[in-house]
A and B are shown apart, each in its own frame.
Chain A
Amino acid sequence: MAVGESQLGSDTESAVDEGDVEARVGWRYTLAQIKQDTTARWGLYVVAFVITVATYAIVDSNLSLLTFGRLPDYAFAQALPIFDHPTRIPPPGEGTQHMPPYFPLAEQSWNPLPAGGTIEHPLGTDHTGRDYFTRIVYGTQVSVFVGIVSTFIGLSIGTIIGAVAGYYGGKTDDILMRVVEMIYSIPPLILIIVFTVFVGGTSIWYAVIGVGITFVPIFARIIRSRVLSIREMDYIEAARASGVKDRNIIMRHVVPNSFAPVLVYATLQIGVTILVVAGLSFLGYGAQPPTPDWGQMLNISHGYMHSNLWLSIWPGLAIMITIMGFNLLGDGLQDALDPRIDD
């Protein structure tokens, strides 16, 4: 090709060069892009709000995450300070001297058909008289926690598998990708239920791990394809030639370079995770009562859908808004990081 042409003729492909992609990877760049994109900005707001609420719930309840799923429900029935019950209504028959540290369950509020919308109970109470608003708020904690942790599990394992498979290629690649394909072939919900029931038992931790495992294939595939393209880059060749260890090459060069697509997918995947866990809990295999998990609340409120529809509406809305936040953010990130598709 004529040298002159290489000077003058910049064709379309050179615009999306490697250097360009790297320029698009940095956090600052990402944030700048998000700020520009209305979709992403709203996503960021929602996600930030949800995470703040979740963090608040963790801090407020003084509960170790390690006891997840085994907490007595009345621990969760404690209202947020602003909504705390001002006066305690003594149970019939007897007033006790002991002031409980927990939100007292007034006899009136035992009625599972509250009108809702009182100052004390903005969303009413559930079938055992627990403040529904508080439970929805605490449910944020479970959903966000589950979404992020299990996505992280899937991401970590998937990254390792994908990176190793892509980098070494050949038989290693074949075997690893076949294993991934096997996991991928079982419908996630089925795999998770089988895993939690047969291996774990009904604890949210097993659900988290189970969900994480089912998402390994997605990340492994993305990372692998990225690695395959990066592997042939000159600087990788150079690193290899100068005797840098494979592991170091993978960790220092290959994996960071896959940041952009993985970030997008991870964000979108958190939404999917929350959806899957909600389904799992709805079937009774995710979070166990009394943990205030939205899916689990829907499981219970489903039984009250005729007597109190709102018990089913609120957790559903909470799930929807949260997932929407992550989806918006993911879409926004995609716009920001992938120049090809822009909206």
Chain B
Amino acid sequence: MKLLKYTIYRLLQAIPVLIGISVITFLLANLGPGDPVSLMLQGQEHSEELVRAIEQRYGLDRPLHERYITYMSGLLEGDLGQSIYYQRPVSALILDRLGPTLLLVLSAYAFALVTAIPLGVVAANRRNEPTDHASRVAALFGVSTPSFWIGIVLILIFAVKLGWLPSSGLYYPWRPPSSYPGINGHLELYYETARHLLLPMIALGTLQMATIMRVERTQMIESLQGEYVKLARAYGVPERTILRKHAFQVAQLPIITIVGANLSTAIGGAVLTETVFNINGMGQLFIEAIQQNDYQLVMGITMMLGFLFVVGVIITDISYAYVDPRVTYGERD
């Protein structure tokens, strides 16, 4: 109950932020020089009347604030407008493309967490030993290397040279297996999904992994120096338990914050990863929308990504509150 109340409270708090995002994107999209109508009509003879007619159809002839109000009232009904380029509702387009992006981002995070946390713990525990140095160097490479470049190199090695993994695309595990040729049953589908996901996941997850690893290591070092660890040692708790339980749990708190805060970096990175791996997600949709000057779609995507970020932050906040008993719902900044 408390949790529900807190969630609602946080969601309400997010409303002004979302409105702000809509204002920012609306202004950016409408103040710019790119004119969606002339782009649409490119290559056709366009009379003034035709331009007018189209402007009218999309409400482009009305003053900015009116258009904004219309847009926002539509938004309240879940209507993000109509994509000019695709001639489809923006919300439908986004729904189509949300899945792959979420799958990609979540798996990248899973990869990052699963690898970074043990590595960070080991590095902290073996501080200044070779293991520690090696993992720190690896983390340094991780935070310094562009994800798309990692992607290119991975494709060349694992897809082109070795032929082990596919170079692009994605299988969607939520589809019936029959929609893919040669796939019999869910197990095979999941296997194929995993094969397709592996390289983009690593490309996107490396930065997160390196970031998390660095934080994990620092936090573990700090946590291992904590008084409560001294106490546990003094009471004969085995080192292993201290590492895995006493020191570990406290050190995870900042990780949760990092995961939340880096979400927007990860979503941005997804744009690049989707491009390199030809994954048909929100990032690709965004690039198309930008290239076609489809401002309705751009706005919709930006709002959606902003919303996703806010939701992600709320989820991390809630998990923070769950893990850290000191946080009382609603009081944390």
Contacts and interface: CB of A to CB of B under 8 A. Distances in A.
Contact of A182 (B21, B143, B146, B267): B21
A112 interface: no
A178 B310 CA distance: 13
A283 B295 CA distance: 18
B156 A182 contact: no
A121 to B, nearest CB: 22
A176 interface: no
B21 A186 contact: yes
A21 interface: no
A132 to B, nearest CB: 16
A185 B264 contact: yes
B114 interface: no
Contacts of A276: 268
Given A271-B144, A324-B140, A190 B152 contact: no
A316 B145 contact: yes
B152 A302 contact: yes
Contact of A320 (B144, B264, B272, B275): B144
Contacts, number: 142
B64 interface: no
B148 interface: yes
Interface string B15-37: 01110110011001101111000
Interface stretch (A89-97, A158-166, A195-203): A195-203
B271 interface: yes
B290 interface: yes
A319 interface: yes
Contacts of B322: none
B54 to A, nearest CB: 19
Contacts of B127: 343
A323 interface: yes
B177 to A, nearest CB: 32
A194 B306 CA distance: 13
B172 interface: no
A283 B156 contact: no
B212 to A, nearest CB: 15
B221 interface: yes
B143 to A, nearest CB: 6
Contact of A341 (B17, B28, B218): B218
Contacts of B128: 343
Given A188-B264, A305-B156, A275 B146 contact: yes
A316 B25 CA distance: 32
Interface string A61-98: 00000000000000000000000000000000000000
A188 B265 contact: yes
Contact of A187 (B295, B298, B309): B309
A171 interface: no
Nearest to A276: B268
Contacts of A328: 140
A298 B149 CA distance: 8
B143 A186 contact: no
Interface string A173-190: 000001101111111111
Interface of B: 16-18, 20-21, 24-25, 28-29, 31-34, 127-128, 140-141, 143-149, 152-153, 155-156, 160, 218, 221-222, 264-265, 267-269, 271-272, 275, 286-287, 290, 295, 298, 301-302, 305-306, 309-310
18 contacts: A178-B16, A179-B20, A186-B305, A187-B271, A188-B264, A189-B268, A190-B301, A191-B302, A194-B25, A194-B29, A194-B290, A276-B268, A279-B269, A316-B145, A319-B146, A320-B141, A323-B145, A343-B221
Given A194-B29, A198-B295, A298-B148, 19 more contacts: A178-B17, A181-B20, A182-B17, A185-B264, A186-B25, A191-B302, A193-B286, A194-B298, A198-B28, A199-B31, A271-B144, A279-B147, A279-B269, A279-B271, A282-B272, A283-B275, A306-B160, A312-B149, A320-B149
